[in-house]
Amino acid sequence: MGLIKVKTAIYCSAAAIFLAACTEMTDAEKNAELGPLNAVDATGISDIMLNLADPEEAVVFFRDALAQNPERIDLKRNYAKSLVRAKKYAEAALVFEQLIETGDATSEDRLAYAEALIRNGAWDEAEVQLDAIPPTVENFKRYFLEALVADHNKEWERADSYYDVARGLTTKPAQVLNNWGLSKLSRRQYNDADKLFKQAISADPKMFAAKNNLVLSRGMRKIYELPVMPMTDSERAVLLYNLAREAIKNGDRDIARGLLELAIETHPQYFEAAASLLGSL
């Protein structure tokens, strides 16, 4: 005990210049002295914030962490990823661009950067980033993004090839199948589009986008009946409403009225949009 008191006294004397009072430091205080980032790294909370936390909270967390440690490449990378997760694609693109300019970007960073660029409509820049990734990098995201770019460039054979490979590299292919269906729809290959939308719904019965795209594909051909597929009453009402709008585009106003009336009757609540459109007819 005497030795401990001597060491404590020495510590207090040395610290007297900076502190008005001196006490022995607890473990919690010592951890606090290391700063928030070291404690974060020790508990793996960075991964939790990046993958499980609220997207907006993650953005704030990594932005503040990076401000304290601007030289940390891993924090800059996680900040960019958190921005993508929060759908702040323009901001994410700027951070990824910094990683590339400093030579710190990985192939994964380039893929994430390409995705952010695509979501901002910067297709040519996204293609540049994809071309800079070594051909040995073969994963789902790479092929899916390649498919989207090929689609945009109307390189249909390449798009089909990339979509097909991407579908085989994921256990959740609904998004790929839905996008592939939209590609076929843009080429007016309606039967192929319908098949892909149905496959997407089969892979994810809750995917409303695929259900809606299937209905619109049929509506373009004046098929005004909903296909057999899983849907709630609310979904059925909205699909009938969208089908009615397609009928109006086709000049089939009487059919549109009937579809709107059915949509209003089907919806579990008051369907204001359908009622308003019906009134205008």
Please name the residues in contact with 126: beta carbons below 8 A apart, sequence gap of 6 or more: 114, 115, 117, 118, 145, 149
CB neighbour burial string for 195-234, b if at least 16 within 10 angstroms, e if fewer: bbbbbbbebbeebebbbbbbbbbbbeeeebebbebebeee
Give how far the C-alpha of residue 18 lies from the chain's centroid of Cα atoms, to the nearest Å: 49
pTM: predicted TM-score of the whole model, two decimal places: 0.79
Query: CA 137, CA 60: separation in Å to the nearest integer?
Result: 31
pLDDT bin (cut points 50, 70, 90) of residue 52 is confident
- Sorted by where each begins, the domain ranges of the chain are 39-137
Q: What is the pLDDT of residue 44?
A: 73
- The 3-state DSSP class for residue 231 equals coil
pLDDT of residue 41: 54
pLDDT at position 43: 45
Q: Which CATH superfamily is domain 39-137 in?
A: Tetratricopeptide repeat domain (1.25.40.10)
Phi, psi (deg, nearest 5) at residue 106? -100, 175
Distance of alpha carbon 215 from alpha carbon 185, whole angstroms:
12
Identity of the residue numbered 26 = T
| Each residue's pLDDT tens digit, 20-45 | 333 444 444 433 343 444 544 544 77
Residue 158 confidence (pLDDT) above 60: yes
